[in-house]
Structure 1
């Protein structure tokens, strides 16, 4: 019964991801997203260099030229639209899986969460069936399976080339059960911080995208 309730809960409050994270490789700096898996199909969107999205990792194992991808409608994963993603196809030659990049080991980029114990004081909590937590202060609850989170993010510090970049609270007030274990990648001056977070059951992926001007994208999603 709990599993049924949790599936309903996640359907209501999160977007679903369908595989792995990728960006594009294209000398033009952008790639067409098509409605159907062929080069004559209608163009429904364009993806630009440095943007991350989900792709169907299973389809890359097959002998086919087009890959299913899922692009968030809100580049910071803050939207409440249903569905929360655009589904389309790109040619597999344009796909660059994020984890195919070499891990960044330099010192010009620094990222760190300041984490504290979750505080319930004066929080506005939404519940389903008077039990399962569906929102906190009007925001989704990433990282739990319907219970109160144990930890929350108090601040995020980011530094590029010695300059501190501000990350507004709105971008971390809905993510919970974070830690400072993550992978960092770099491509053409853009940095990608990738990790899984959870309380053991409410797992989600998050990708932070930064360049020297600041936060460019936040990609958040769960796999059920």
Structure 2
């Protein structure tokens, strides 16, 4: 089965009569979504096997279709089969909570509900995302109030929590912390991976690394220790042997001082380093 990237747009408002749930009926594993109800119209995206979408079946041979994440266009009626089940939010989350993704494979039907803040670069951003097993009416995770993103790729729904690691804000470079907190694999089982931390960090040239390392070393005695830990981590992640030596032996360079909250922060930084170096 092949999976094709889908262009995600901001969620439009649909005013069609009696929307129904459907999935594709196509041996190719995907069906094109077109800008107009015609086989000659431009292709604006694809819907893959397993994805559940909404459609207006009032047309003759071409139906208006739309996904919860914003892809909207037309599909030939022969490529659509009805989905006869309730796969919404089941009353969860209040007036702003709505399905973001719905997907079925290997006998499992999942709905991801929550509040959509935006859709950028094929990724949905929002909060309080809840994954439900529609057939058994089971909640499969605990929703978080932290910012999150959700995406469907290669048959896998993944939810990632954002801004969940402590990062100093006073460095001249922008550090973007990410905690990959839960992955949901759609298969014959559901696997959850907890607390796999990661940084999106600035990449330096060799000359920049040399200058940053020199500045870090010279200021260790007077600089903020949390900021020094963050800097040392980022430099070590840049494939710099001397930076790695400094980071992994930071306590020796400081002559102690890595205890209490600072010690916990450093151990967390080491864990992040090891995960990102795999």
TM-score, with length taken from structure 1:
0.36
Structure with bigger helix share is 2
Decide which structure has the larger Cα Rg and report it: 2
More relative contact order in 1 or in 2 (CA 8 Å, sep 6+)?
A: 1
TM-score, with length taken from structure 2:
0.30
Structure with bigger strand share is 1
